Structure 1
């Protein structure tokens, strides 16, 4: 039996866990592939017109999955850390998909992820839906989740060693765990912290391969998922109140950490147009960057963003950082 995992949203962070779980249970896992114009067009046509681009892209991948597999995996993310929650679109994602995609009824697998404090989302009760639909025993699910949790821990170790999500995913798929662990490019002229949700930064179509473009400009890259969650939250302690959304807090906490990192020359915040939580995260990052005296810029992306505009913005920002660094060196700072 085939199950499709849409190559969108939190695929970039949780795919190794879900892929291992379903394979251990005997499923054939279908990856819907990288986003292209056809997938975006399918999603944009089916989705509500004013919804954000990441949800339109996910919708397109669901449609793609229906064409390739028996079932499509659409988890309902409520929370993984009390008292924070996910964006309402994540909380209602299965409802959004069922209301917009034709032929989805009866072919969707939607576990409810509602954890008090478990980033690994590996509680057996979360996946009771697999027992209800397919008749797996609780023991079978526990054993599969144990293996999936081990794999996800190794994946996070790759991230914390300095690999970006796309490179860590490639390492997982090619089983190059030890070979790639700690192999990070550090010989660039400047270092930039690229902050943003994984589905904004690593979807090569919507972000137009921002990471590869920066690396081609001889830039070292640091991202939010490279910062362990406890360190990210430690950097939020000076606020009286945290944000309501878990990954927003992680992006902001990582940004605060990188503002104190002497290796980091500047920050880029990649955000999808119309994202409510990011409207708040961006303002915090901009303010804190001004206080720290580090250059900061925002790149807003959607299905209409032009590549020429993106490249011009990146080139200007990188050139400014290089000139600033050269000037500091020449003055002996």
Structure 2
């Protein structure tokens, strides 16, 4: 039990039911706040693993198989850091956010991969999100969470509806006409949110571009409707949600005259990126306006010195007066 002061008097309050750990990686860059609100509403104490550090990365690399992609290794490192500090680790199982679309396969099996990699008895809380094919799986997983936490099932369902269900697929993009997008020299940074916004994996790219006085645009600068509208220019069907977002963003940015270059941050061994970058490059080859395109593949061995050298060469191309006349 804990005490708080209310009008000068001590009031007894109940201790948190359980401590739940949220690894600060992968989809938590988009939905971490929602899940924190959910477990807080249930009376749990929520802690996160904080920013990615070299120690977290090295820990994840040591625990995962060589075939795992870099983001999964980083996520596993975050999970391992939290495992001994919490009663439960929360790892959602994302399958699909919309009909006719799928998330990356690693999201579908993430709880199983982490459980296998840690090789210890770790208590996981899972909630399945499969709005495209099996929305009933969400209710089934909420029932399991209710049993694990010892909370009434109706209370869990109400908390989920209030804090997560209506916000999970919400469109939070700013939009091309938003006041935050200025008509000045810009560089578009493409990639998964957990690559763009992770300071270690992105090598601080956004800050470096900003210091060079460029406005930085990301897929989050666009609304989902804008991303999908431009993605439809692709002659085919992209079944992966994140692939559609990146592809549509790239095509939209190519139409903005203030965008002078594109940078694509890709984790090593990402199958989706290998296809998306190919389509972006083909589209750029057909454009009348030629702008520099830098693709950087990041793995656990990537050094910041080499990254900075490539970035400096890219920025030199943006300043080339001959290119401006092309």
- TM exceeds 0.5? yes
Question: How many Å apart are 1:71 and its aligned residue?
Answer: 0.7
Q: Which of 219, 233, 236 is matched with 1:238 structurally?
A: 233
Where does residue 307 of structure 2 map in the other structure?
310
Where does residue 127 of structure 2 map in the other structure?
111
SS at match of 2:320: helix
For the 8 Å contact 2:49–2:78, the answer to whether it is kept is: yes
Q: Residues 307 and 45 (structure 1 numbering): CA distance in 2 closer, same or farther, change over 3 Å?
A: same
Question: How many Å apart are 1:51 and its aligned residue?
Answer: 1.3
Q: Residues 152 and 215 (structure 1 numbering): CA distance in 2 closer, same or farther, change over 3 Å?
A: farther
Where does residue 255 of structure 1 map in the other structure?
250
Give the number of the structure whose residues are more often helix, by fraction: 1
Distance 1:305 1:200 in 2: 14
Map residues 89-100 of structure 1 onto 2, 5 A cutoff.
89-100=106-117
Where does residue 3 of structure 2 map in the other structure?
none
Distance 2:162 2:31 in 1: 14
Distance 1:185 1:235 in 2: 18
Question: How many Å apart are 1:160 and its aligned residue?
Answer: 1.5
Q: Residues 264 and 187 (structure 1 numbering): CA distance in 2 closer, same or farther, change over 3 Å?
A: closer
Distance 2:153 2:271 in 1: 38
Q: Residues 212 and 141 (structure 1 numbering): CA distance in 2 closer, same or farther, change over 3 Å?
A: same
Where does residue 200 of structure 1 map in the other structure?
195
Question: How many Å apart are 1:130 and its aligned residue?
Answer: 2.0
Matched, 1:134 2:149: yes
Map residues 227-306 of structure 1 onto 2, 5 A cutoff.
227-292=222-287, 293=289, 294-306=291-303
Gapped regions of structure 2 (runs ≥ 5): 1-17
Where does residue 59 of structure 1 map in the other structure?
76
Distance 2:145 2:36 in 1: 14
> How many residues were matched structurally?
304
CA offsets 1:49-90 (integer angstroms, 9 cap, x no match): 221111110000010111221111111111112222122221
Q: Which of 77, 85, 102 is matched with 2:119 structurally?
A: 102
Q: Residues 74 and 324 (structure 1 numbering): CA distance in 2 closer, same or farther, change over 3 Å?
A: farther
Q: Residues 314 and 128 (structure 1 numbering): CA distance in 2 closer, same or farther, change over 3 Å?
A: farther
User: How big is the alpha-carbon RMSD for the aligned residues of Structure 1 and Structure 2?
Assistant: 2.8
Q: Residues 83 and 155 (structure 1 numbering): CA distance in 2 closer, same or farther, change over 3 Å?
A: closer
Distance 2:229 2:166 in 1: 26
Distance 2:133 2:255 in 1: 27
Q: Residues 284 and 161 (structure 1 numbering): CA distance in 2 closer, same or farther, change over 3 Å?
A: closer
Distance 1:183 1:28 in 2: 37
Distance 1:67 1:147 in 2: 30
SS at match of 2:21: strand
Gapped regions of structure 1 (runs ≥ 5): 163-181
Q: Which of 29, 43, 61 is matched with 2:60 structurally?
A: 43
Map residues 121-200 of structure 1 onto 2, 5 A cutoff.
127-149=142-164, 152=167, 157=172, 159-160=173-174, 184=180, 186=182, 190-200=185-195
Distance 1:279 1:41 in 2: 25
TM-score (normalised: structure 1): 0.82
TM-score (normalised: structure 2): 0.84
Question: How many Å apart are 1:101 and its aligned residue?
Answer: 0.4
Question: How many Å apart are 1:267 and its aligned residue?
Answer: 1.0
